[in-house]
Amino acid sequence: MALRNIVVEGDEILRKTCREVGEVTDRIRETLDDMVDTMHEAMGVGLAAPQIGIMRRMFVAEPEPGGKIYYFVNPEITYREGSVEGEEGCLSVPGYFGIVDRPEKITIKGLDRDGNHQEYTFEGFEARVMCHEYDHLDGILYKDKAKEMFDESQVGYEE
């Protein structure tokens, strides 16, 4: 396992559409594990493959620090319900946060770290995290959807 460099906004990699993963191989698992390490090091709640320069449809998420880690390979959001606004930030857009509308509830399916099919329903913050990471796979950044953006230093934002 190893830490990877996080790609930041301005790099065209973040704007490309990722390709599907053919099979969850040991190499894919190694990448997923590196993504978890990198997410933890950066104190993020999610990380998508293009954020470490890998153009594959996969992301990891840990909405509750120290809680369950979710692995999604070839994810598909099959259901969306409602709309709620909330704060978001992104490891690839350091120093900012914004207000974004996201579904209140989603159903998402995909393959896990073992290549098994999984389906989950998420609400609230968890749904927000999954939608944010999923967007990365299509080259979309949260700031594209944000109603307002804030510079952390301007407003003295603290986590």
**Catalytic amino acids?**
133
Question: Based on CB atoms, which residue is closest to Zn ion, 90 or 106?
Answer: 90
Q: Closest approach of Cβ 99 to Zn ion, in Å?
A: 15
- How many residues belong to the site for Zn ion (CB under 5 A)? 1
Q: Closest approach of Cβ 1 to Zn ion, in Å?
A: 21
Q: Enumerate the β-bridge partners of residue 121.
A: 107
Question: Based on CB atoms, which residue is closest to Zn ion, 47 or 73?
Answer: 47
Closest CA to 106 of 130, 90, 136: 130
Question: Based on CB atoms, which residue is closest to Zn ion, 51 or 74?
Answer: 51
Instruction: Report the C-alpha gap between 133 and 51 in whole angstroms.
Output: 10
Instruction: Report the C-alpha gap between 82 and 8 in whole angstroms.
Output: 31
Q: Closest approach of Cβ 91 to Zn ion, in Å?
A: 6
Distant-in-sequence, close-in-space partners of 18: CB < 8 Å, separation ≥ 6: 49, 50, 55, 56, 57, 58, 136, 137, 138
In the set 21, 90, 108, 129, which binds Zn ion (CB under 5 A)?
90
CB 85 within 8 A of CB 99: yes
CB 7 within 8 A of CB 13: yes
Residue 100 binds to Zn ion (criterion: CB under 5 A) = no
Binding part of the chain for Zn ion, among 20-28, 31-39, 64-72, 89-97 by CB under 5 A, reads 89-97
Residues 48-87 close enough to bind Zn ion by CB under 5 A: none
- Interface ranges with Zn ion (CB under 5 A): 90
